[in-house]
């Protein structure tokens, strides 16, 4: 069905940075995604070095409990954007966009929920009765679609997958700022740029893929959020 293709395409595109590690080249322009800010405060620490940066950001990820990610990824000439809040406890919520279609998604107590908006109706030709309704991964209709989106809704899979790919052989380390956050900029041999908080914990603040393949901004590290399941009346019964 058309809406299944939409789900698979969106999830696959958004995971391109994780699955491929991206190819070599120069970093993409960051102009199309809002600048990252974070409210996490921490005492100043010695600046990172190229040799210690990868390990430090991985340690910060492991000790964190939640994060807010805003990003865009381009694959095969198509761009996906996403605005997601992920919690290590398994909760997640936000919006994924593909072409002109925007789809709110949630994960609550292991159950994924997808909402069919008017833009999804136009792009994927879903039945009009589904517009504004949520479908659950527990339903026959939602099971396959939710499976395609689940990697995006997992703190461990999504964030851990990206952080885990940061190589040890980085170069650079020049100080700069993103929003009001002091960061250090490191570059991988394959062209990815990683902007890491200068203060300890050394959270990843921004990642940019080469060749315009995408960018992700990471904010609100360790800030819990509340997400609830749609009500029974909001669920599609078909």
What is the share, in percent, of the chain residues with pLDDT greater than 90? 53
pTM as predicted? 0.79
Per-residue confidence (pLDDT) for residue 6, from 0 to 100 = 35
Q: Which residues are paired to 114 by β-bridges?
A: 105, 135
The more confidently predicted of residues 31 and 225 is 225
Distance CA 152, CA 147 (A): 10
Per DSSP, helices labelled H in 64-215 are 118-124, 140-149, 160-164
Per-residue confidence (pLDDT) for residue 144, from 0 to 100 = 80
Q: What's the number of CA atoms in the CB half-sphere (13 Å) around residue 165? A: 25
Residue ranges of domains in the chain, CATH in brackets: 2-230 (2.50.20.20)
Between the alpha carbon of residue 17 and those of residues 29, 127, 166, 213, the distances in Å are 16, 33, 11, 8
Per-residue confidence (pLDDT) for residue 47, from 0 to 100 = 83
- Answer whether residue 3 shows pLDDT above 80: no
What is the share, in percent, of the chain residues with pLDDT greater than 70? 79
* Residues, the chain: 238
Instruction: Report whether 158 contacts 151 (CB < 8 A).
Output: yes
DSSP 234: G
Neighbours of 7 (CB within 10 A): 24
DSSP 222: T
* Model confidence pLDDT, tens digit, residues 51-110: 999 999 999 999 999 999 999 988 888 888 999 999 999 999 999 988 778 889 999 999
Q: Residues 126-149: what's their mean pLDDT?
A: 82
Token pair, residue 70, equals 């805003």
Per-residue confidence (pLDDT) for residue 226, from 0 to 100 = 92
């Amino acid at each position: 069905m058309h809406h299944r293709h939409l789900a698979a395409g969106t999830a696959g595109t958004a995971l391109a940075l994780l699955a491929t590690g991206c190819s070599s080249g120069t970093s993409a322009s960051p102009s199309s995604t809002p600048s990252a800010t974070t409210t996490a405060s921490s005492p100043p620490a010695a600046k990172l070095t190229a040799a210690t940066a990868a390990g430090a950001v991985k340690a910060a990820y492991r000790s964190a409990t939640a994060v807010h990610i805003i990003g865009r990824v381009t694959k095969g000439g198509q761009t996906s954007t996403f605005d997601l809040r992920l919690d290590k406890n398994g909760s997640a919520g936000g919006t994924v966009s593909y072409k002109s279609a925007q789809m709110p998604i949630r994960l609550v107590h292991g159950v994924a929920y997808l909402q069919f908006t008017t833009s999804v109706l136009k792009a994927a030709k879903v039945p009009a009765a589904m517009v504004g309704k949520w479908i659950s991964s527990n339903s026959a209709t939602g099971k396959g679609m939710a499976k395609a989106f689940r990697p995006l809704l997992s703190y461990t899979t999504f964030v851990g997958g990206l952080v885990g790919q940061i190589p040890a052989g980085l170069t650079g380390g020049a100080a700069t700022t993103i929003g009001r956050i002091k960061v250090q900029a490191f570059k991988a041999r394959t062209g990815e740029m990683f902007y890491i908080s200068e203060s300890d914990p050394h959270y990843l603040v921004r990642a940019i893929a080469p060749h315009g393949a995408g960018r992700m901004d990471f904010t609100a590290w360790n800030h819990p959020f509340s997400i609830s399941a749609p009500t029974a009346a909001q669920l599609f019964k078909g």
